[in-house]
Amino acid sequence: MADNTTKLYTNNKSADMDMVSLYLYFIEGGIIFVFNFVLALIIFLTKKLRVQKEFVLFGINMIFDALYGFAYILGGFYRLRIYLYEEYIPLQSRWICLLNPSSQMFAILIPGVGIISLITTIDRLISVSVPMRYFTLTVSYTYALGLLAVGATLPTYILAMITSYETRDIYDANGLCNLQQSAITEVYIAFRGLRVGTSIVGVFLYLPIFLRLYKILNARTKMTISNVQGKKLRQMTFTVTLITINELLLFTVPDICLILNPSTNTFFFFILNMTKGIVNIIIFLLTQKELRKAVFRRISDRFLNSTIVDVRIQSHSMVLRFNEKGLHGLADYTRMWMNESISSMSIESYTHKIHKGIAAGDLNLQNIKVARFFPPLIRYRSSEHGLYMTTLGGQSDIQAEWDLDSDFLSLFAIPFKGEVQGRIAGLRSEVSVKINPGTNEFEVHHCAAKFNDFRIRLSGSIAADILHWFRSILGKAMKKRVEETYCKMISQKLLPWLQHQLTKFPNYLHVNFGNNIELSQGLHSIALSSTHVDLRMKNKFITNGHLIETLSTLPSSYPNYERNQYLNQKMVELFIDEPTLQEIASAAHFSDQFRANMTSPFLRTDCEMLCLGTLFPELKTQLGPTKLVVEVKTLSAPIIRLLEDRAFVFINSSVEIFDSNSLNSIRENDIIDNNIDIINPILFDPVISIEVSGEAELFIQIEERKLSGNLKLRNTKAIVLESKLTDMSQKTIDFIVNLSVPFLEDAIQVFLGEGTQIDDIFKVNTRNETLTIHDGFIRLQTDLTMEHFLD
């Protein structure tokens, strides 16, 4: 016993402490903490990895290992303080030792690493026992497993706290405060025993895991999983197996030795325990290619960050979004396609072996055909890591020819052949489609198909009556063959068709701006989310016969307004960002699209009615009888700014007035392309040149399937750049300058024209179009008539 003012010490000097173990606490603990923490961070920050259950579970294992390493670091600091400030190693109560931060962490982590390893093994058992069900689980299931692992450590932790508190006045523990000195002997054995028990149970669970995995991977004809899925299942199980073996060798064996002989020198076992975290890092990096790629990508992005930013700033894009309503429309059309495709589909011949009974032998099915097919209800569902197609219902009539090769029945002179007819109903299937981000290729990740009802009827000979005794066996055989054929049809026919339908949509976006500018789209990438499918495109500008492409590298999705308002939702949305509109405006400017010549009877200096000459006789005196021509053109590309519900255009243009008596025409060659002849008016020095600049609000609307725009000038400023009207009064000059703004407005109306039909922009049959302006992009929503452009 000791009071609060007395400090007790052992006879061991702190200077005699084992410094090697102290260094290892810092060095190995730091390595384990840093590498596991960084790898876990990469998993949870990489979108492709954090949506996969297996990688999330790996990340949780890494967090446990990282905390284990951090506990060693805290223990190292505690020992270093004793080494530096205490002459002798103090005596402590078990309660005070347990309150030490490193002891607190070890009290949770020592059983915790065994529990999370067992949970990871159980996860593998579930994945191979019910793979179809497992693939439908979300990452929330994995996070729940992590919380379960933490919760499972609480009983021993609470027990340690209670029992150590009861010995709070007994100072008999070494002040270095290992967990062995922090808990009573029985609780310490419980800590180690729990880790040993969970590890051993995990090892025994691998027997059914390997047996089940062998059956799955060697039952290829069942088509329950794809090659990609089987490879992933095998790879993940292999990784978890190595982790379990690592824990068995470096945790379980040392724990058993310490439980059987607590007085054993723990230094060697301490080294083994610390090495386990480092070996796990090596296992993850060697066996998981996706994780290696993510690590390399993060390192590359770190060094190439400035270059990537520059590319993104200069990129432009359009995004075509299929909403939930659009996916439903695509599903309805898929039913039509499936009805035509499956009705004309033939099924491969099949031989079924009957092992017992008088009909034992080979039952052959040939010329299997689909007589009638009623397609099931289909639904497409998008997620961040794939596109899912689920079906429910449907019915199919199957007919085939059969013959029986039986050693026993062949003794009878009876023809053992005939026809079999079957009816399959209640199809339930789920197909998971992965999209390769580099090539936009579609591939089946897994396909599961099951018919709930299958009835058959045989005819043809007396053997048919005999075979009716085995119709359940025959029915299962035919049912399995049809299910296999269904998944094969999905992979070989439906998937290429679906890929073609989605990836051809960008080709429907094509618009001409005058004679020299053509804007079309090509598919750049496909981005999936839980609510929509985005087709991100690359712009293809053809200006004056030259092709310019700009790639879409925008990393974030556009906002999805009215997400829950399904009734107001349109099937597809087209997002056009501000840089794309700016690119169009710049191309039009440099192609002289924003140039217009205007004249009118009012611009005469000699007339009998109202004109400039009658208003200002001095014009007639200086210029003589003539007709004036006004040319309006942009001096620089208009600048477009899109805000929420508003759009503005900043204009810098010139308004020049010419004397028509000074105009001639000449044929010249285009300086860009010598193969194109153009005719331009050669305008000599203008009578007066005026620069007009200012902002205009842009109003865009869709009426009667026509896209039209209108500009309203505001805050304009006109400056005279050059003038030959030297003898004119200031009043005359001011009047002409004031005329420049109406001339610019008229020219703008000429530029905008009467509008553009939606069909000239989106080469599909659309309806119910709406257009809205948002901060940084324009959003066009529309419904589609699928059958008019799908094939």
φ/ψ of 282, rounded to 5, equals: -65, -40
Section 27-36 average pLDDT: 88
**377 and 478 inside one domain:** yes
What span, in angstroms and rounded, lies between the C-alpha atoms of 410 and 361?
A: 10
Condensed to tens digits (0 to 9), the pLDDT of residues 202-250 reads 888 888 888 877 777 665 444 445 555 667 677 778 888 888 888 778 8
Section 740-757 average pLDDT: 77
**567 and 616 inside one domain:** no
Per the CB < 8 A criterion, the answer to whether 301 and 555 are in contact is: no
Section 718-729 average pLDDT: 80
Is 302 a member of any domain?
no
Section 689-700 average pLDDT: 86
pLDDT reported for residue 95: 93
Between helices 101-129 and 139-152, what is the axis angle to 10°? 140
φ/ψ of 145, rounded to 5, equals: -65, -40
3-state secondary structure of 381: strand
Condensed to tens digits (0 to 9), the pLDDT of residues 483-542 reads 787 888 888 888 888 888 788 877 777 777 766 777 788 888 888 888 888 888 877 777
Structure tokens at 91: 């005596």
Condensed to tens digits (0 to 9), the pLDDT of residues 582-624 reads 888 888 888 777 888 888 888 888 887 788 888 888 887 888 8
CA atoms within 13 A on the CB side of 12: 13
Structure tokens at 83: 């080494």
pLDDT reported for residue 476: 72
What span, in angstroms and rounded, lies between the C-alpha atoms of 474 and 223?
A: 19
**375 and 396 inside one domain:** yes
Closest CA to 641 of 747, 791, 776: 776
What span, in angstroms and rounded, lies between the C-alpha atoms of 196 and 260?
A: 12
**275 and 168 inside one domain:** yes
Question: Please, is 271 exposed, middle or buried when counting C-beta atoms within 10 Å of its C-beta (0-12, 13-18, 19+)?
Answer: middle
Is 301 a member of any domain?
no
What span, in angstroms and rounded, lies between the C-alpha atoms of 76 and 328?
A: 60
What span, in angstroms and rounded, lies between the C-alpha atoms of 290 and 434?
A: 15
- Taking the model in full, what pTM does it have? 0.53
652: left (phi over 0), alpha (psi -120 to 50) or beta: beta
Condensed to tens digits (0 to 9), the pLDDT of residues 666-693 reads 333 333 343 434 344 444 678 888 888 8
Per the CB < 8 A criterion, the answer to whether 335 and 315 are in contact is: no
Domain extent at residue 684:
594-754
**181 and 84 inside one domain:** yes
User: Where residue 129 sits, what CATH number does that domain have?
Assistant: 1.20.1070.10
Question: Please, is 427 exposed, middle or buried when counting C-beta atoms within 10 Å of its C-beta (0-12, 13-18, 19+)?
Answer: buried
pLDDT tier at 60, thresholds 50, 70, 90: very high
Per the CB < 8 A criterion, the answer to whether 76 and 28 are in contact is: no
Is the per-residue pLDDT at 307 higher than 60?
Answer: no
Angle at 193 between CA 36 and CA 152, to 5 degrees: 60
Question: CA dist 373 to 332, 341, 447, 790, Å?
Answer: 16, 10, 20, 21
**157 and 229 inside one domain:** yes
pLDDT reported for residue 577: 83
Condensed to tens digits (0 to 9), the pLDDT of residues 417-473 reads 777 777 888 878 888 888 887 788 888 888 888 887 777 776 666 656 666 665 666
Name the E strands within 579-704: 595-598, 628-634, 639-643, 646-659, 664-669, 677-682, 688-703
What span, in angstroms and rounded, lies between the C-alpha atoms of 10 and 24?
A: 24
Is 735 a member of any domain?
yes
pLDDT tier at 552, thresholds 50, 70, 90: very low
Is 311 a member of any domain?
no
Of 457, 488, 503, the position where a domain reaches its end is: 503
pLDDT reported for residue 67: 92
For the chain, the domain total comes to: 4
**389 and 477 inside one domain:** yes
pLDDT tier at 145, thresholds 50, 70, 90: very high
What span, in angstroms and rounded, lies between the C-alpha atoms of 40 and 274?
A: 18
Between helices 19-45 and 267-287, what is the axis angle to 10°? 20
**246 and 379 inside one domain:** no
pLDDT reported for residue 159: 93
Of 243, 278, 295, the position where a domain reaches its end is: 295
Q: Which of 384-398, 545-559, 629-643 has the highest mean pLDDT?
A: 629-643
Higher pLDDT, 572 or 475: 572
Structure tokens at 257: 């030795």
Between helices 289-303 and 19-45, what is the axis angle to 10°? 90
Beta bridge partners of 427: 393, 451
Per the CB < 8 A criterion, the answer to whether 26 and 73 are in contact is: yes
**253 and 402 inside one domain:** no
Question: Please, is 93 exposed, middle or buried when counting C-beta atoms within 10 Å of its C-beta (0-12, 13-18, 19+)?
Answer: buried
What span, in angstroms and rounded, lies between the C-alpha atoms of 267 and 25?
A: 12
Is 316 a member of any domain?
no
What span, in angstroms and rounded, lies between the C-alpha atoms of 229 and 208?
A: 20
**101-115, 205-219, 312-326, 382-396: the lowest-pLDDT one:** 312-326
Condensed to tens digits (0 to 9), the pLDDT of residues 372-408 reads 778 888 888 888 778 888 888 888 888 888 777 777 7
Per the CB < 8 A criterion, the answer to whether 391 and 447 are in contact is: no
User: Where residue 619 sits, what CATH number does that domain have?
Assistant: 3.15.20.10
Structure tokens at 187: 């609780």
Per the CB < 8 A criterion, the answer to whether 291 and 55 are in contact is: yes
Task: Please tell me what DSSP assigns to residue 637.
Answer: P
Question: CA dist 588 to 585, 665, 748, 751, Å?
Answer: 5, 23, 13, 10
Structure tokens at 360: 């034992």
Is 307 a member of any domain?
no
pLDDT reported for residue 555: 38
pLDDT reported for residue 338: 79
Is the per-residue pLDDT at 789 higher than 70?
Answer: no
**576 and 647 inside one domain:** no
Is 1 a member of any domain?
no
Token match 């008999």: residue?
172
Section 101-124 average pLDDT: 89
Question: CA dist 7 to 15, 172, 508, Å?
Answer: 19, 12, 84
Q: Which of 63-72, 330-339, 558-567 has the highest mean pLDDT?
A: 63-72
φ/ψ of 139, rounded to 5, equals: -70, -15
Q: How far is C-alpha 270 from the chain's CA centre?
A: 43
**129 and 67 inside one domain:** yes
% of the chain beyond a pLDDT of 70? 81
Is 554 a member of any domain?
yes
Of 468, 483, 503, the position where a domain reaches its end is: 503
**272 and 388 inside one domain:** no
pLDDT reported for residue 266: 62
pLDDT tier at 172, thresholds 50, 70, 90: confident
User: Where residue 491 sits, what CATH number does that domain have?
Assistant: 3.15.10.10
pLDDT reported for residue 163: 92
